[in-house]
Structures are given as C-alpha cells and as structure tokens.
Chain A
Amino acid sequence: MRNPKFIILLIALLIASIGILSIYSCTYQKEGKFWELIYQRQILWVILGLVFFLIMSNLNYRRLWDITYILYALMILLLLLVFVLGISRLGAQRWLRVIWFNVQPSELAKLIIVIFLSRYFSSKSVDDISLRASRFGILRGLLFPFIFVAVPMGLIIQQPDLGSAVLISFIFIAMLYLAGVRLRYILIFLLVALFSGPVFWHFLRDYQQERILVFLNPNIDPLGAGYTIIQSKIAIGSGGIFGKGWLCGTQSQLHFLPESHTDFIFATLAEEWGLAGSIIVLFLYYLLIRQGIQIALRTQDYFGRLLAWGISLMLVIQVFINIAMTFGLAPVVGLPLPLASYGGSCLFVTFISLGILANINRTRTVF
C-alpha cells in the first residue's frame, strides 16, 4: 500500500472514473451513434492509458535522457505534419489522423518539452559534478532554452492552440525557476513577455482576442463567447453544497453548457456533485501531484528530479487553468482537464507522464 506507483495508479483511475461518470451524464441524452458510444470510447482509452502507464513505469526513465533529441525532432516533425495533413475541427487544425482515431500532437509536445528542459538543465560541470544551471549566463540560462521551446510553441500557436502554448510558457518559467537559473534572468524574461504582450496581441486570431476580451467582461457578448462562461458559472454555482445529483444537472443536460464533456467537464461535475464532490476531486488531484512532488524531493538524480518536478507542475498548471477557466477566472483557452476530460490524446499523455513518475520513484535508488 505504501508503494507510490500503486497510489498514483489508484488516484489516476479514481479521477478517470469520475470523469467517465460525468461524460456519461452529459452525453447520454444526446442523440446519435457518436454520443451514445462516447463514454465507452473513454473507457477504452483509459484502459489503453493504463497499458501505457505500465509500460512507461517499467522502462528506465534514463532512456529518455538518451533519446531526448530524437523525441524533440519527432515532436517538431509531428507538429509540422499537422499543418500538412492535419484535420480541422472547430476552426483549428490540431489533429492528426492515425488509423482509427485522431491524435493531438500538441498534447505530446508538452511532455517532450518537459523532458527536453529537464535534460538541458541537468547537465553537470565536468570538474565538481555540481549543477551548472545556477552558474549559467543569460545566453545559456535563458536564451538557448527559450529558442528551443519557442520553435514548437510557435507551431502550436499557429494551429491555433492557445491553451497548450500558455501551458508550455508556464512550464518553461517553472522549470527555469526550479533548475536554479538566476532569478534576475527569470525576471527579465517575465518583463520582456509582459511588454511584448501588446505586440503579440496582433498575432492572435479574432476569436482568441474576443475570448480574452470576454474573459475580462463576459457580458460584452452574452450570445457568443461570453455565454459559455456565464453558463459555466451558473452550472457550478447552482450545484451548491451537495449538488443536484448524478444525471440531474440541468445546465449540462439541457445543453446550456457547451463543451460540457471536454473542456468544461469540471462544471458538469461541480453541478451534479456540489461542493462536497468537487472538493474531493480537487483533493484527489492534490494527492496525485503531492506524490509527484515527493518523488521529486526524494530523487537524487538531477535529471529525474527535474523531470518529476516538470511533470507534477505540468499537471498542476493544467488543472489550475482548466478549473479557473470554468470559474471565469481564466480566459477560455481550450485546455482539457487531465484524466477527467473526454479525449484520447490528453489521457494517454497524462498516463505516460504518470508512468514516468512511477519509474523515477523506482529507479531513484540506483544512483
């Protein structure tokens, strides 16, 4: 029972099951073959995710160190392929068709960037085997890693997938901080990012600009983009302490709430299970991430430690952005809730990440 691998798996499966229940709840009334089967597909994906978890947890994570550059090249290739062969859905070209289901390479990119940054910052100095990151100058400490992150990020923004891009930039800052890069470099980066904001604004698509404006004031477009936020807040708020009960949520069931089975799954959940249920779900996420952080703290290997930190923070940031979005506290950027939202790509990547975590815990004693 004390085995972290077992605990991680248990919590992940618990969250995924709650997700499946909510997906079933907000889709079972919709007509059509696609909607009828949607929760079964999610079950299938959870099972496949489990397989990925078991494979990754038995594969020495140090191998990732060896193939980091191959992974990076593969990621760039996949992201470029999206432009050539990608399938457009909901106005964005994010998916690649692989035999019988659609893969979203930007999901995979998040993990690969975490692996890449972990390796980059865990290089040791030759003479005294200490971490070199804290002694990096601005070039090696900020500019080079930024260029390596900016290339896939630029491709992801072009898809456009703003949510993943925002997530990656948060991960980048967090990794800089944890790797021990000098604080003033991080501050420089933040300042530059802040001041380039107005320039960046012009590169956003119309609907993305609209979403950010709507985030600032949902009432400017009550029929369009603001509608989702208003309905999502009503859904969560009307759940109260104990919720309306499973299959009884009016907001999600009567289709007031768009995307209720993907990005807004938390609103569905909070409406039906109230404060009690949602706090439990939040707590489960916290436990999961705590496992990750503890693994990071226990690990002596720099690469493993940074990797564990990166994966844990990736999850934290995703959970935070997604849930804050349903509260109307973050712009609607289209980021799924890991483990709970419907969607294969995100689920697989999350299970793979957790598998790597479990393996880091297992192998840490080797060094």
Chain B
Amino acid sequence: MRTKIVNSAVIFVFLFLAFGLFNLQVIQGNRYRELSNKNCIRLLPQPGTRGRILDRQGNIIVDNYLSYDVMILPQEEKGLEKSLTKISGVLGRSPQDLKEAFNSGFTVPFLPVTVAKNIDLKKVFALEELKPGLANIIIQPHPQRVYPYKRLACHVLGYLNEIDHWRLRKLADYGYKAKDIVGFGGVEEKYDYYLRQEEGGSSVEVDHRGRIVRLLGFRPPQSGKDIQLTLDLKIQKIAEDKLRDKKGSVILMEPYTGEILALANNPNFAPSIFMEKSEASITNLFNNPHAPLINRAISGLYPAGSVFKLILATAALETGKINPETTFSCPGTMHIGRQEFSCWDRHNQQNLYNAITHSCNIFFYRTGLLLGAQLIHNYALKFGLSKPTGVELPYEAGGFVPSPLLKRIYKFQNWFDGDTANLSIGQGELLVTPLQISRMMAVFANKGILITPYIVKAIEGQRITSQRKITRVPIKESTIDYIRGALKNVIADPNGTGNVLSNLSVSVAGKTGTAQVAPGQKSHGWFAGFFPFENPKFVICVLLEHGGSGFASCVLAREIIEAMIKEGVL
C-alpha cells in the first residue's frame, strides 16, 4: 500500500518537473526568450556614499560631493548613434570620443554604460531637457571623494582607485566586484570594509526602445560608516607646513595612549589625482624617484643614529654594567680591532649623564662592548624595535635589529666587535621607522609603558578600544628618571646637542641623532623628544632624510613647537 503511494509520488514528482519545464519553455517560452534576447531587465545601480573621515574634533578631512555621470542604456544601433551625437553637442566632445568610451565601458547588455564622467550642473540641466526625446540617456548622480584640505594627511588617508587584480582575488569573498572603487593605502585601505558603501539600485523592465515599462524591484543604497581619526587638524597642518620643502617625516603622539595627533611626510601627493583619472599625473606619481606615495613614518626604514644610544643607556643601567658614576674618557678616536672609530668631537672624562647630553660616541662604544651585542639586541626588542608597532595603517615596516645570531643565519658571517660598536651608536645594519622611535621615546615620556600607536578613534561615533596592547617595559623607575633627566639636559645644557630647543615657554626633553648613510650622501637627521617635561602631552619625532644632521631636525622641531604655542594647541 505505502510502496504504491510512494511509487506514484515519484511519478508525480517527475510529471511535476516536466510540466514545470513545459510551462517555462513553451507556455512562457516566448516571454523568456524575449527577456533573454534583449535582456529586458536593466539594472540601474544607485551608489551609496562612502563613509567620511574626520579628525579628532570632528572636522571633516575627507568628504563626498555629488558628481553627475552620463550613462547610456545599450540597445539598437540607431538610437545609440543619435543619443551620442546629441550628448556630444551638449558636452562639446566629439561623437567618436564618446563612442570609444561606450565601447570600452560596455560589459553586458542590461547594464547602462558610463560615457562621460563628472559633468557640471549646467550641462546636467541641458541634458535633462534632451531626455524626453532620447529615452536611453540616464544621468546618474554619483558621490565623489572630495579633499577640502588637498594634500593634508594624504599618507594617513590613502586614496581611492579601481580595485586591482590582486586585491580583487583576496576580497572577492567579501562581496567585492571588478571595477569597484576601493581604498589604497592608509585608513582608506585598512578600514575599507567600514567606509565602503553598499550599492543599491533598481531592476526595471524596459521596452525595445529602452523606455522603462515597469519597476521590478528596488533596494536602497547603504552609506558607509564615518571614521574619526585621532589626528588633530591644527597640529597636522603645522607639521605639514613646517616640513614643506624638506624630505622626511614628523610624528606627534600622545605619550600615554598612543593616539597619533599628527603624522606628516614629505614629499606627499594629492589624493584627488586618482579621482580625476588623469593617467599622466598618476604615472608621474608612481615613477617619481622621491616616492611621494610612501608613508615614510611607518614604512620608511632608516638607521637610528644616536637616538639608539638611549637603549644602550637603559640596558647598561639595568644590567649594572655601568652605574651613574662610571666614567669613560673620550680622546676623539679609539681603535676596535684594526679599525679606527671616532667621535664627532673630543670630550674628556664623563659619565653617562653627560655622554647622553653630548651624544658622545666613544662612551657608547665602550658601553656597547661591555654589554655585548646580544644584550643590546634584547633591549631593543623590549622597546618594540624590529617588529611593526601595530598601528592600524597598512604596509608598516618592521625594521631590523642585528645580532650575532641573525648575522650568522642571514649572511654566514661572524660578528666582530666593530659590529657591536656600530650598533652601539645606531649605525650598521640597524633599521627603524620613525613611528618605532616615537614609541620608544614615549616609554621615557610615560615612565615605562610601551603603547601601541593608533590613529582611528571611532567608527560611526563608536569608540574602538579593543585590541590595543599596552605593555609595561620591565625597567626600573630610577633608570627611567635618570635618563629623563639626561634627556632634559640635552636641551637645557648650553653644550647639549639639542640646545636650540631651549628658551621655549615649554620645557622640552629629547635626543638628537645623526645617522650616517652611504659616503657622499648627507646624513639623516633625527630628533625624538617629548614636552612638557613634567607632564608630557606630546611625543615628537622628526626625521629629515639627508637633512645633514640632528641639528636640522631640532630646528624643525622648534619651529613646530613654536607654531603650536602660537596656535594655542599646547
């Protein structure tokens, strides 16, 4: 009994399917054939607006405005030619030009093709008047990125461009499609998923002349989320202003939380170039030997120079290899192995305090040799060197801190005392990013905390506080206090290397550095410091690529701090 019922159910299922086929292919066959032939379903996409980017006070750094694109619905040849001629009359472009744009933009018959982008409002009205006669023209409002401050903070922001092959492969699973506009570099790339708008649109059935017969469905577009940065627009402006005409990077950071208040690099670029789509200027940008697209503050690798001596000082005091009373004499040069190492000046008998103040090389050669390379390496890692700081910007470099083991592994070479000496003054193979140095300096400013720098404060008004790692560097408070004192003396002492920063209405502490590069080229100039000395509110790091010396960076830092005092942001 039951088997018979099941047997008939099976037969019924197949008859049902056969009837379904018959219904679709014969009864409704003509309708579907037509839909398929002309593909009468047109999709009219309606883009949402991408999230804006704000500074810490809520000032808009990146905004959107409506631009208008002219689109054409693909259909029979005759109507196309006619519409293109009319459009070319209004826009003042040749019909061949438009035809080419049409052919290159054509993907499928049911999607409209953009033939002209970003036309001004007057022409929009003129075209709207043409529309009753020419049904296949669509004028599509299209939100565009606008940068009210032009180049400001360009490396933090990044730019927008059409998705490339590599990104598309990675992101296809997250709903990204070919020809999508996505962020490249900076916050635009890292937070693209949040900033990104969701395309809405309507599907309509159109007749053979491209007129809309009826609306089949509609989905409203969704706007992206606004992102608030920790940047302070005023400070950022000052930093970029002072850095102009120079090559390098400036970072200002809050020492206790790691909020980045300003991050400026020069040379820089105008992100709007990518919106305008002028091939020549984009190619120029990519081929520029000064690499304006590189965010030097996080991706630039430089020898640390004398700034690195602070790590030796800490290591030496912590391990007890020297104490505040230990003195070394500096005769100007010394021999290590067969090589002669020199100091930039002659200093007499001096202790650590004065050695930091005068940035004496000989003192640190001797300290370094006492410590040994492995210990120096270990302490550098405690200060966060040799790995990315974890700031939420893409393409952060990790840097490199050499050690005997690493040299053996990578170069199959032995480690010599000369290498230790080079490392002791931040030369040799040591490479750091300006952000790593800012973070290291913050440890002295906030008395022992290794913060994770960050740049995004809130997404759509919601503060993000998770995943910020704050670790305590295991060093004694007395050591930090001692080095802080020395850092203050670098500025306060008339013979200190950073004396140019004294006599400001705010007390600054810091360390200069002059990192030698290949012979014949000017040295990189470093200044890393914090101010006000008692209750630090800012960590500053200035790097001038081939700036000559640490002195040049000190001068720049002074200009920035002076401007900040004048603007009242201190």
Residues of A within 8 A of B (CB): 90-91, 174, 177-178, 180, 219-224, 226, 230, 233-241, 250-251, 254-256, 270, 274-275, 278-279, 282, 285-286, 289, 293, 296-297, 309, 312-313, 316, 319-320, 323-324, 327, 329
Give the Cβ gap from A289 to chain B, nearest Cβ, in Å: 6
Assess whether A286 is in contact with B25, with CB atoms less than 8 Å apart: no
Complex interface: chain A residues within 8 A of B7 (CB): 293
Seen from chain B, the residues whose Cβ lies within 8 Å of a Cβ on chain A are: 2-3, 6-7, 10-11, 13-14, 16-18, 20-22, 24-26, 28-29, 31-33, 35-37, 39, 41, 43, 45, 108, 173, 199-203, 216-217, 219
Our pick among A222, A285, A293 for the contact of B216 (Cβ within 8 Å) is A222
Contact B36 A279 (CB under 8 A): no
Is there contact, CB below 8 Å, between B35 and A234?
yes
Q: Could you name 17 residue pairs across A and B whose Cβ atoms are closer than 8 Å?
A: A91-B173, A177-B2, A220-B219, A234-B39, A238-B29, A238-B36, A239-B29, A256-B108, A275-B26, A278-B25, A282-B14, A282-B17, A286-B11, A313-B6, A316-B10, A316-B13, A324-B20
Q: Is there an interface contact between B203 and A222, defined as CB atoms closer than 8 Å?
A: yes
A178-B3, A222-B219, A324-B17 given as contacts; is B10 within 8 A of A289 (CB)?
Answer: yes
The interface residues of chain A lying within 8 Å CB-to-CB of B173 are: 90-91
User: 12 new A-B pairs (CB below 8 Å) besides A275-B25, A275-B26, A278-B21?
Assistant: A91-B173, A174-B6, A178-B2, A236-B32, A237-B36, A238-B33, A254-B108, A255-B108, A275-B21, A278-B25, A289-B10, A312-B10
For B10, list chain A residues within 8 Å (CB). Answer: 286, 289, 293, 312-313, 316
B41 touches A250 (CB 8 A): no
Q: Given A223-B43, A233-B32, A329-B20: A270 and B25 within 8 A (CB)?
A: yes
Q: How far is the CB of A270 from chain B (nearest CB, A)?
A: 7
Chain A neighbourhood of B201, CB < 8 A? 222-223
Distance between B106 CB and nearest chain A CB, rounded to angstroms: 12
B532 to chain A, nearest CB (A): 52
Tell whether, in the assembled complex, residue B219 and residue A237 are in contact, meaning their CB atoms are under 8 Å apart.
no
Once the chains bind, are B41 and A230 in contact (CB under 8 Å)?
A: yes
> Which residues of chain A have C-beta atoms less than 8 A from B25's C-beta?
236-237, 239-241, 270, 274-275, 278
Minimal Cβ-Cβ distance residue in A for B36? A238
Query: Does B21 lie within 8 Å of A279, measured CB to CB?
Result: yes
Residues in A neighbouring B2, C-beta threshold 8 A: 177-178, 180
Are A221 and B29 in contact (CB-based, < 8 A)?
no
* B203 contacts across to A, CB distance below 8 A: 219, 222-223, 230
- Which chain A residues lie closer than 8 Å to B202 at the CB level? 222
| Residues of A close to B41: CB separation below 8 A | 222, 230, 234
Most A CB contacts (10 A, CB to CB) among B7, B13, B39 go to B13
Which residue on chain B has the smallest CB distance to residue A279?
B18
Contact between chains at A241 and B29 (CB < 8 Å) = yes
Distance, CA A236 to CA B32, complexed state (A): 8
- Return the contact of B217 from the options A91, A222, A237, A296 (Cβ within 8 A): A222
- Selected from B13, B14, B17, B45, the residue in CB contact (under 8 A) with A223 is B45
Alpha-carbon distance between A210 and B35 when the two chains are bound, in angstroms? 25
Closest 4 CB pairs of A and B: A237-B32, A222-B203, A238-B36, A219-B217
Determine if A241 and B14 form an interchain contact, defined as CB atoms under 8 angstroms apart.
Answer: no
